[in-house]
Amino acid sequence: MKILVAVKRVVDYNIKVRVKADGSDVDIDGIKMSVNPFDENAIEEALRLKEQGKATEVIAVSIGTAANQDVLRHALAMGADKAILVESATSIQPLGVAKILKAIVLRKQPGLILLGKQAIDDDAGQAGQMLAALLDYPQATYASNITLENDTLHVTRETESGTEVVALTLPAVVTADLRLNDPRFVKLPNLMMARKKVIETINVADLSTDTDSKLKQLKVSEPPTRKPGIKVNSVTELLSKLRAHDNLKL
């Protein structure tokens, strides 16, 4: 069984982003980009299923410009067998991503498709669900544990009220939560080897899918700045400040 893993290139989670002066978007010029953190969990889980002898091949796919080769090489260095770059000059919204991934699924016929639960740049949390709907495959989102026996996948899901275990028949779509695993560190020699691997490149136009944006981004702005805090010298002072503020009955 093949596993397809969707890997998005996003601003590194340690970076504090700036908004462009004209408010049109976030300024990513010269900023460190990385694999979307939840997608690293998805890659790790695919590799573990392969190491358990439950998958034969792990294929990483990323949609974006030639720059996305870096996240694909990271996936290869972690242990993915193959990588596919779907080249698109324009940024693609989750529905377009789902349509492209569907086209790749139909070409490569994976038994399991793993995605992150959300991309940390758009925070949409939509591509996996839309992909499952387009393929008419069962789906489990926010996975924190996965076990595969024969053709049945048991997925523990993180929900608002606790955890839920669902059983899915393959082929299926699963989106990964951070609790799913601890992704392995990439060793330098593996990164060097990954540099030599061939990345299959497909032009988005060759997939004959409608990837037009359905939403228009009107404005991007910084969150309101928080007022600076003050230091108090005693509990008595703290209580008097709290009483003065908001008329608290303390």
Closest distance to ligand AMP from the beta carbon of 144 (Å): 15
Q: How far is CA 165 from CA 143, 160, 170, 247, in A?
A: 9, 14, 16, 47
Q: How far is CA 155 from CA 152, 168, 183, 184, 218, in A?
A: 10, 8, 18, 21, 38
Q: Applying CB under 6 A, does 43 fall inside the site for ligand AMP? A: no
Q: CA triplet 136, 139, 141: central angle to 5 degrees? A: 145
- Considering the complex, state which of residue 90 and residue 152 has its C-beta at the smaller distance from ligand AMP: 90
Q: Which stretch binds ligand AMP (CB under 6 A): 62-70, 192-200, 204-212, 214-222?
A: 62-70
Among 122, 170, 197, 199, binds ligand AMP (CB under 6 A): 122
Q: List helix spans (H) across the chain.
A: 37-51, 69-78, 94-108, 127-135, 188-196, 235-244
Point out the residue whose Cβ comes nearest to ligand AMP. 116
Angle between helices 37-51 and 69-78 (to 10 degrees): 30
Site for ligand AMP in 135-174 (CB under 6 A): none
Amino acid at 173: V
Among 19, 108, 126, 138, binds ligand AMP (CB under 6 A): 126
Q: Which stretch binds ligand AMP (CB under 6 A): 59-67, 162-170, 188-196, 222-230?
A: 59-67
Among 2, 3, 4, 7, binds ligand AMP (CB under 6 A): 7
Among 78, 95, 112, 127, binds ligand AMP (CB under 6 A): 127
Taking the mean position of all CA atoms in its chain, how far away is CA 2?
Answer: 19
Contact letters for ligand AMP, residues 78-97 (x by CB under 6 A): --------------x-x--x
Tokens of residue 130, six digits: 């839309």
